[in-house]
């Protein structure tokens, strides 16, 4: 059941992104930015966590989840240490993904050449 | 006292070349995908992979262009020292494909830019040099490389992007032609395809901003130049056996055809487009068709020039089109200016 | 200086030309994005469950699952597969976190030829940069607004 829900929620988010891409003149970069911003706003409204409870990986794998982890980090640190936590917390939970992408990006750039 | 009257000018924007410069030789170097297209067997060389032994695609493009030039000169039986001027055109920023191709050639060089209309610009400039007595032999060569263009104009090549159906595919090709006169020692059996006239393009901007829809942006420029050509020379479209645009692609070509017909110019029975001839769109994933500076040049050399030589066509009006935007202008929200130069050719 | 092609002619042309523009295959693209995106997420859920079964808590399992998908996306980009997947699936492979990895690895590979500092490193975030910039801005603003509206105990 978890797998099916992940499939449905994740698939729907991607299909929504595709619709935005096909029906407007936005590039995929714009669509990704919209997803991240939406993820952040929904998190502050308290709506993204319920989506994760339903969809599991279907909600944590799409790029909107990046907005969620940035915002959740900011909110949690804000609660613990006040206003400075707002800055301190933003990358508190998103660091692993960014670090992994940078390290792997560097490695792949060393190892492979584009084939076109 | 110099003549202040431009005696070879007709109408507002057209030129006649009374000496009728000839195509003495051609040479094409095609990419692997172009080699698998409908014209694959007609190219002189098909490179085995997109790098062709080079470290990066920009240098591959230069190498293809250099080989096209060198082999074109050889095909005429000439030497570099016989070439009085070389015109090159390409899409890379600051036209580096042409400059790097020419750095190993002992030939005076002009670099041109009219995007995918550069080949026509070169043919016209070379013809004017010949007719003015400033050159006995000129080479016009252009190139484009799909991957080099992608990384410059669009996205990194390994990025997983989906292209809209109006997008066109930049051709990996280089093509060169050598021009001279039939009396030239290098004319050999060639020299039967003559350049009789030309119509110069104006830059036309109709406000299309989508760089994935260049056919729509360029169609009005093609219509403007073609309509001006028929007016300046006082001939109907049926004077030509084929009227061929550069790379309007499936979308732009239909727009241009309808616009010309609506002006009372019946072109549809003889209207072709190099972007639609280079690939098999049913089999090759190129969306609206081919583009790139060498698309029209390669199709001209491999298809139309050969067809004129073997008698399939006598008169051709060849009208490459160019989209003159840059990645910077597009991001700044500017529309795409376009140009089309037309060259009239005749087989004798 | 008035323009050679007047504005009304431009808008008329835009309207006329729109009729010639082929539409993207909406349904095919929608389904491809849905199934590929859904499949990536379902595979992620399988990984997540496997990590939980090994005794990791939910947050840690989620982080490892994300790292695993980033690694797979990076490797498929290196092998030259992810661009073909993207051409087929569109948002279905761009929106998942493996697509985020693709958007960083692809320029890193592409611009390595212009050098490791001014090429690869400088260009690495040419696509993903905006996602991070607007993600941080949106997180900062939404967390701040939430704080102003709800106070700390939100």
pLDDT digits over C49-106, tens only? 999 999 999 989 999 999 999 999 999 999 999 999 999 999 999 999 999 999 999 9
| % of chain A surpassing 90 pLDDT | 85
Q: What is the mean pLDDT of chain A?
A: 95
Distance of residue C61 Cα from the nearest chain B Cα, in angstroms: 27
The answer on C134 and C97 residing in a single domain is no
d(CA A4, CA C37): 13
pLDDT at position A83: 86
Residue C1 lies in a domain: no
B62 with B199, same domain: the answer is no
- Asked whether residue C112 falls in the same domain as residue C134, the answer is no
pLDDT for residue B3 is more than 60: no
Same domain, C46 and C108: yes
Q: For residue B191, what pLDDT is reported? A: 81
Q: DSSP H helical segments within chain B, as ranges?
A: 32-35, 57-75, 96-102, 118-131, 146-153, 214-233, 249-262, 274-277, 293-299, 306-309, 327-331
Looking at the fold, whether C25 and C95 belong to one and the same domain comes out as yes
Task: Tell me whether residues A63 and C95 touch, CB distance under 8 A.
Answer: yes
Q: What is the domain count for chain C?
A: 2
- CATH, residue B328: 3.40.47.40
For the four alpha carbons of A38, A43, A46 and A51, in that order, the dihedral sign comes to positive
In a 13 Å sphere around the CA of A21, the CA atoms on its Cβ side amount to 32
If asked whether residues C26 and C42 sit together in one domain, one would say yes
Residue C101 · residue A101 · CB < 8 Å: yes
Are residues C105 and C138 both part of a single domain?
no
User: Residues with Cβ < 8 Å from A70, sequence gap 6 or more?
Assistant: A40, A90, A91, A93, A94, C135, C136, C138, C139
Range of the domain at C153: 126-154
Contact A37 C127 (CB under 8 A): no
pLDDT tens sequence across B292-346: 999 999 999 999 999 999 999 999 999 999 999 999 999 999 999 999 999 999 9
pLDDT classification of A25: cutoffs 50, 70, 90: confident
For residue B240, being part of any structural domain is answered with yes
Q: Is the pLDDT of residue C154 over 50?
A: no
**Chain B residue closest in CA terms to C32:** B162
Mean pLDDT on B113-130? 98
Which of residues B133, B148, B180 is at a domain's end?
Answer: B180
Q: What does residue B273 show for φ and ψ, rounded to 5 degrees?
A: -140, 130
Nearest CA in chain B to A116: B157
A111 at interface of B, judged by CB pairs closer than 8 A: no
Using the beta-carbon criterion (under 8 Å), do A116 and B146 form an inter-chain contact? yes
Residue range of the domain that includes B315: 193-347
Cβ of residue B328 closer than 8 Å to a chain C Cβ: no
**What is the CA angle B60-B321-B35, rounded to 5?**
40
pLDDT at C153 over 60: no
Q: Which residue has the tokens 């997109």?
A: B50
Same domain, C118 and C131: no
Residues B130 and B211 in one domain: no
Which among C44, C75, C103 has the least Cβ separation from residue A6?
A: C44
Q: Are B178 and B83 in contact (CB under 8 A)?
A: yes
Count contacts between B and C (CB, < 8 Å).
Answer: 99
Same domain, C82 and C150: no
Q: CB within 8 A of B4, min separation 6: which ones?
A: none
Q: Examine residue B4 and state whether it is found in any structural domain, yes or no.
A: no
Query: Which comes out higher in pLDDT, residue B184 or B34?
Result: B34
Residue C41, in any domain of the structure = yes
Residue B145 shares a structural domain with residue B245: no
Q: Does the beta-carbon distance from A116 to B150 stay under 8 Å?
A: yes
Same domain, B69 and B198: no
Q: Confidence class of residue C150 from pLDDT cuts 50, 70 and 90?
A: confident
Kindly state whether residue B106 falls inside one of the protein's structural domains: yes
In a domain, C90, yes or no: yes
Domain termination residue (choose one: B146, B180, B214): B180
Q: Is the same domain home to B142 and B268?
A: no
With tokens 């032999």, the residue in question is B137
Band of the pLDDT at C1, cuts 50, 70, 90? low
User: Nearest 5°: phi and psi at B343?
Assistant: -125, 125
In a domain, C61, yes or no: yes
The verdict on a CB contact (< 8 Å) between A13 and C97 is no
B2: pLDDT strictly greater than 70 = no
Answer yes or no: is B247 within a domain. yes
Residues from chain C contacting residue B158 (CB–CB below 8 Å): 77, 80, 82-83, 102, 105-106, 109-110
- Say if C3 falls within a structural domain: no
Compare CB distances from C45 to A46, A57, A63 and report the shortest one's residue: A57
Identify the closest residue of chain B to C81 by CA–CA distance.
B158
- The percentage of chain B sitting over the pLDDT mark of 90, rounded to a whole number, equals 95
Specify burial of residue B147 (Cβ count, 10 A radius: 0-12, 13-18, 19+): buried
B185 found inside a domain: no
pLDDT score, position C152: 59
Same domain for B201 and B168 = no
d(CA B169, CA C73): 26
User: Domain check: are C41 and C94 in the same one?
Assistant: yes
How deeply is B132 buried, as exposed, middle or buried, from its count of CB atoms within 10 A (0-12, 13-18, 19+)?
exposed
Q: What confidence score (pLDDT) does residue A116 get?
A: 78
Nearest CA in chain A to C41: A58
Domain co-membership, B29 together with B167 = yes
Which residue has 């799409």 as its token pair? Answer: A62
Q: Are B123 and B179 in contact (CB under 8 A)?
A: yes
**Domains held by chain B: number:** 2
């Amino acid at each position: 059941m978890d797998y099916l829900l992940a499939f449905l929620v994740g698939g729907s988010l991607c299909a929504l992104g595709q619709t935005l891409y096909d029906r407007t003149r936005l590039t995929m970069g714009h669509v990704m930015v919209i997803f991240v911003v939406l993820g952040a706003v929904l998190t502050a409204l308290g709506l993204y966590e319920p989506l994760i409870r339903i969809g599991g990986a279907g909600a944590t794998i799409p790029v909107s989840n990046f907005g969620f982890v940035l915002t959740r980090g900011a909110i949690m640190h804000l609660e613990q240490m006040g206003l400075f936590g707002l800055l301190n917390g933003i990358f508190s939970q998103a660091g692993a993904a960014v670090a992994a992408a940078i390290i792997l990006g560097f490695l792949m750039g060393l190892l492979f050449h584009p084939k076109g | 006292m110099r003549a202040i009257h431009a005696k070879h000018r007709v109408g507002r924007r057209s030129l006649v070349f009374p000496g009728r410069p000839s195509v003495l030789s051609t040479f094409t170097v095609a990419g692997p995908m172009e080699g698998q297209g409908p014209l694959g067997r007609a190219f002189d060389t098909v490179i085995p992979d997109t790098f062709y032994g080079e470290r990066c695609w920009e240098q591959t493009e230069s190498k293809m262009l250099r080989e096209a030039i060198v082999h074109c000169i050889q095909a005429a039986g000439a030497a570099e020292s016989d070439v009085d001027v070389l015109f090159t055109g390409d899409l890379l920023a600051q036209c580096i494909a042409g400059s790097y191709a020419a750095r190993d050639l002992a030939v005076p060089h002009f670099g041109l830019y009219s995007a995918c209309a550069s080949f026509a610009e070169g043919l016209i400039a070379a013809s004017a040099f010949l007719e003015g007595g400033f050159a006995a032999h000129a080479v016009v060569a252009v190139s484009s490389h799909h991957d080099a263009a992608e990384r410059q104009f669009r996205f990194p090549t390994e990025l997983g992007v989906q292209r809209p159906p109006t997008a066109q595919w930049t051709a990996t090709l280089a093509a060169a032609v050598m021009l001279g006169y039939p009396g030239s020692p290098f004319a050999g059996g060639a020299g039967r395809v003559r350049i009789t006239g030309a119509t110069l393009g104006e830059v036309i901007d109709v406000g299309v901003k989508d760089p994935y829809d260049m056919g729509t942006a360029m169609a009005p420029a093609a219509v403007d130049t073609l309509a001006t050509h028929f007016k300046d020379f006082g001939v109907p479209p049926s004077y030509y056996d084929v009227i061929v645009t550069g790379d309007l692609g499936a979308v732009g070509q239909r727009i241009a055809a309808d616009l010309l017909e609506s002006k009372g110019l019946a072109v549809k029975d003889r209207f072709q487009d190099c972007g639609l001839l280079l690939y098999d769109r049913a089999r090759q994933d190129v969306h609206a068709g081919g583009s790139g500076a060498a698309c029209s040049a390669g199709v001209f050399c491999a298809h139309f020039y050969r067809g004129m030589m073997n008698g399939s066509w006598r008169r051709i009006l060849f009208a490459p089109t160019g989209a003159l935007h840059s990645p910077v202008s597009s991001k700044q929200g500017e529309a795409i200016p376009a140009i089309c130069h037309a060259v009239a050719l005749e087989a004798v | 200086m008035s323009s050679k092609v007047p504005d009304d002619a431009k808008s008329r042309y835009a309207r006329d030309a729109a009729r010639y523009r082929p539409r993207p295959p909406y349904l095919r693209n929608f389904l491809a994005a849905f199934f590929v995106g859904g499949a990536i997420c379902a595979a992620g859920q399988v990984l997540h469950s496997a990590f939980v079964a090994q005794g990791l808590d939910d947050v840690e399992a989620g982080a490892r699952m994300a790292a695993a998908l980033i690694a797979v996306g990076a490797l498929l980009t290196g092998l030259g597969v992810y661009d073909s997947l993207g051409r087929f699936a569109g948002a279905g492979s761009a929106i998942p976190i493996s697509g985020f990895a693709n958007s960083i690895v692809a320029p890193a590979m592409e611009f390595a030829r212009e050098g490791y500092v001014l090429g690869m490193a400088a260009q690495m975030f040419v696509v993903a940069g905006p996602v991070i910039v607007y993600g941080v801005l949106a997180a900062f603003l939404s967390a701040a607004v939430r704080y102003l509206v709800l106070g700390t105990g939100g």
